[in-house]
């Protein structure tokens, strides 16, 4: 009516998407195919899954249960709490670019985070940084190894060429775990830190080796 536009007819054409789901979405949905139930080498039954935005209270509780030493080993500084900004950053992920896994104890009726491992990528990056922290009561029970092994599988699946991380020289437990998982360990020049790096590129088998 008047100067207002008026549609008198419309046609809708429906056809299959040329891009496989969920890659056609701006932000991919929660990747439940990464969920896993397992028993650690220390005999602990755990449930590993990607972190969710609603895990913020659980993550804050987990952080407050860490010793000062564990906090320092993870963040390279002393922190008393996680700010709302950090909580949002750690729990609200773009699953296509980053990944964070949490380990829960199977025998507990209420969810409780035992450990967290994460991959942090730059846009288009194929060498993401990793970080892992396990609550003090569950250290040495295979939780960190289970998280890291699953994280390595995800990185390989996504075509990453390597993953790397920095570890303080006094964090002997993490250095020992890295050796068991096959990481290359090198001292950072002029720093009290080590760089851990895992090469994920497929190994090329030479013809001579194939004939052996």
pLDDT digit string, tens, across residues 20-55? 444 444 567 899 999 999 999 999 999 999 999 999
Higher pLDDT residue, 12 or 110? 110
Strands 113-120, 129-134: pairing kind: antiparallel
Alpha-carbon distance of 142 to 40, in angstroms, equals 5
H or E element that contains 207: helix 207-211
In a domain, 131, yes or no: yes
Is 182 inside any structural domain? Answer: no
Structural domain harbouring 139: 32-163
* φ, ψ for residue 37, nearest 5 deg: -110, 130
DSSP conformational letter for 30: P
142: domain CATH number is 3.40.630.30
Whether residue 106 lies inside any domain: the answer is yes
What local confidence, expressed as pLDDT, does residue 185 receive?
97
pLDDT at position 108 is 78
168 part of a folded domain: no
Query: What is the distance between the alpha carbons of residues 114 and 98, in angstroms, rounded to a whole number?
Result: 20
Residue 199, in any domain of the structure: no
Q: What is the pLDDT of residue 125?
A: 77
User: What's the CA gap between 121 and 154, in Å, rounded?
Assistant: 13
Q: Tell me, yes or no, whether 117 lies in a domain.
A: yes
In a domain, 180, yes or no: no
Q: What total of structural domains would you count in the chain? A: 1
3-state secondary structure of 194: strand
Q: Is residue 185 part of a domain?
A: no
CA 30 to chain centre: 13
């Amino acid at each position: 009516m008047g100067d207002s536009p008026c549609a008198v007819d419309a046609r809708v054409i429906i056809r299959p998407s040329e891009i496989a789901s969920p890659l056609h979405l701006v932000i991919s949905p929660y990747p439940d195919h990464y969920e896993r139930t397992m028993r650690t080498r220390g005999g602990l039954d755990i449930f590993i899954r990607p972190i969710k935005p609603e895990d913020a209270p659980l993550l804050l509780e987990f952080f407050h249960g860490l010793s000062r030493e564990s906090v320092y080993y993870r963040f390279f500084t002393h922190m008393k709490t996680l700010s709302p900004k950090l909580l949002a950053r750690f729990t609200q992920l773009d699953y296509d670019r980053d990944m964070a896994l949490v380990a829960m104890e199977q025998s507990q009726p209420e969810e409780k985070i035992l450990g967290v491992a994460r991959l942090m990528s730059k846009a288009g990056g194929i060498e993401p940084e990793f970080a892992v922290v396990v609550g003090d009561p569950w250290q040495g029970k295979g939780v960190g190894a289970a998280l890291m092994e699953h994280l390595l599988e995800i990185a390989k699946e996504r075509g990453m060429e390597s993953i790397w991380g920095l570890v303080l020289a006094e964090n002997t437990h993490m250095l020992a775990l890295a050796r068991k998982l096959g990481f290359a360990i090198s001292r950072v020049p002029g720093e009290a830190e080590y760089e851990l790096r895992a090469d994920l590129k497929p190994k090329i088998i030479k013809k001579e080796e194939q004939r052996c």
